[in-house]
Amino acid sequence: MNKNISLPVICLASLLILARCGADPTATDAAYSLIRVTPENLTSTNTYTDTYGTGYEYYMLDTAQDVNLEYTLDIGPSMKDVYFIFTNIDPYSETSSPTIHKKNQPESPAAGPDPAHDLKPTAIDLNKSPITSKIEVAEFNRDPFSFLNKLNPVSRLLNIVPSPEQRSDNADDAGVFYDYDAKKKAFITVKATCRKVVTDGRMTLNIWVADDCWAETGSKSILVTQEMVDTTAEKFLRSGADNDIYDWVTNIYGQPWGGHASPELIANEKYNNSITILLNDIDNDDASGGVLGYFWAKDNFIRKYFPYSNERIMFYLDAILLAKGDNPAAWNVTDSMPSQVISTLSHEFQHMIHFYQKTVLRTNGIGSEIWIDEMCSLATEDLVADKLQVNGPRGIFYNDPSTGQPNNRDGRLPLYNCFNEYSVTRWYGGDWSCVSYAVNFALGAYLARNFGGAAFFRDVVQNGFTDYNAVEYALARRGSQDGFSTILRKWAVSNLLSNKIDLLLNDSYKYNNSTAGFTNSIGSIKYKLGSINLYNYEYALAGNPHAGPYIYTSIPRNPLQPASNIYFKAGTSLAGKQSWSIRMDRNVRMSVVVKDPP
């Protein structure tokens, strides 16, 4: 069994903490000296010495200033691989990459690009890594009232459309919706027909399909049938308790709409416990890849304040992607793309609830930073995947709680492995938003498996913070004293230990619980999460398969991105006493992982 050993600290200038796990309890405690270092005096050094014990180990070195670090690791007689992880703990600013020199070796050349880095993909396969929102939508949802203030008041008055008459939808009703064409950069109208109305208790679901996407009238290359509509409706809302997306997700986060004090928003009476889904060809591109769907808070506003509001609590799904089966002659909801669209139902529903519970009720109109909102939605997909009977972002069969098979290229984690040095808090644009989804799913999956699953993410949403403090609030509610910077570091160590199953459950480093997976509950509803071994996920470098987290063999010149980790292999099959000189900026923290060679 692994043990945590708290090592004594000799503090001559500032406090440092060195955490160890998996050490031999009889090993000599680490001894190191510290000299204060300033940017003007970078010839001074901090010196650390660690003694390697048994099994694998990880160490965290906490510095709080610009340093030249002399680091010595006594590995002992057995051959081990040594990894350094460098974390930029600043959530919003880049910082210089560290420089590393192995002692008793020729001076290394100046830091440069890693040879394998040039082989990383330069384009994203949207069929493997679909997008679940538009940046225009995400930015609006982040700060909707500032968008209203930017509208030209004269233009708004000239183009104002009266609010639609309040009435219930009925099957075969015809109507017109407002959507946005990202390619035209303009709002458009979508003619649609109501194809399904479902009521369960006080809740009603209305599904509308764009006329040009409907099987009997449409002109698109792939068309939506009544079977597809019925299946979508059944997944989201059906008779009975605790058996659909509506029940599972509201049990975590709360209601999607209700009372409020904002005159700009549609009244609770108009909401009337009714949710609308519009199936249309998003961006009118007749394409079989791209944006799966989105929730856009513009529709929660009355038209007096936003002329292109549909004045509904609603979200959008791409009709082409829902209809794209693996076999054109026999559509099934378990097919690759339809199952991703069904998973997106839970993703977008979280966004809908997040807007009401966070932006409307708790933060006076300022929404969560995009990465927070998206991480919650990705975690929601993960939490309900087995219930929906879809594989979800983990990319493993929904009924398999194990880590699955090697060479897995499904789900979000292959892309994360490839681009694991990217920022958590910086949202990337265009197709590269897929990398942001991958990074934030990986972090959310770690948080869910270590800090209470569904209850943790409920606490992220139901508080008054819109940035990383929302995560720290949820951590505190779960009994953790870790701050966001510590979580970034523990998460990084967990990446390299994800092929281990003997970690302590309460150790905050666990991705992998073997075939048991992870179970958590809110009330009477249980949520199951499968295990993750990042070494089972494979991506391509110049067409050649590469499995596991991407690990640099030389530190690139590029700065460390905000709230990011970069992984460096400090040595392969090392033994005995090893030393390195490392120069780090004040916002960089170093962690060390020692493992048996693969």
**Distance (Å, rounded) from C-alpha 40 to C-alpha 327?**
66
* Tokens describing residue 544: 């050649």
**Cα–Cα nearest to 57, from 512, 433, 503, 548:** 503
Query: How confident is the prediction along the chain (598 residues), in pLDDT tens digits per residue?
Result: 332 322 222 222 222 223 323 333 222 233 333 333 333 333 334 566 666 665 688 889 888 888 888 898 988 888 999 999 999 999 999 999 999 998 766 544 444 555 555 567 766 666 666 676 788 899 999 999 998 877 655 454 545 556 667 678 999 999 999 999 888 889 999 999 999 999 999 999 999 999 999 999 999 999 999 999 999 999 999 999 999 999 999 999 999 999 999 999 999 988 889 999 999 999 888 977 789 999 999 999 999 999 999 999 999 999 999 999 999 889 999 999 999 999 999 999 999 999 999 999 999 999 999 999 999 999 999 999 999 999 999 999 999 999 999 999 999 999 999 999 999 999 998 888 999 999 999 999 999 999 999 999 999 999 999 999 999 999 999 999 999 999 999 999 999 999 988 665 457 899 999 999 999 999 999 999 999 999 999 998 767 888 999 999 998 888 999 999 999 999 999 999 999 999 999 999 999 999 988 8
**Distance (Å, rounded) from C-alpha 570 to C-alpha 552?**
9
List of residues 6+ apart from 12 with CB closer than 8 A: 33, 34, 35, 36
* Tokens describing residue 192: 């649609």
Sheet-wide strand order for 564-574: 4-6, 18-21, 57-61, 588-595, 80-88, 564-574
Please state, in angstroms and as integers, the Cα–Cα distance from residue 228 to each residue in 249, 276, 290, 341, following that order.
22, 16, 19, 11
**Distance (Å, rounded) from C-alpha 139 to C-alpha 435?**
18
pLDDT of residue 212: 98
**Cα–Cα nearest to 462, from 237, 251, 247:** 251
**Distance (Å, rounded) from C-alpha 454 to C-alpha 527?**
7
**Cα–Cα nearest to 446, from 393, 390, 523, 502:** 393
Sign (positive or negative) of CA dihedral 449, 347, 253, 388: negative
* Tokens describing residue 271: 């909401």
- Exposed, middle or buried: residue 428 (CB in 10 Å: 0-12, 13-18, 19+)? middle
Using DSSP, state whether 488 is helix, strand or coil: helix
**Distance (Å, rounded) from C-alpha 186 to C-alpha 180?**
6
List of residues 6+ apart from 157 with CB closer than 8 A: none
**Distance (Å, rounded) from C-alpha 198 to C-alpha 170?**
10
What phi, psi does 494 have (nearest 5°)?
-60, -35
* DSSP conformational letter for 518: E
pLDDT of residue 119: 65
pLDDT of residue 52: 64
Residues comprising the chain, all counted: 598
pLDDT of residue 16: 29
**Cα–Cα nearest to 270, from 137, 166, 374:** 166
**Cα–Cα nearest to 593, from 166, 46, 48, 52:** 52
The full set of domains in the chain, from first to last, is 4-114+556-595 (2.60.120), 142-356 (no CATH), 368-551 (no CATH)
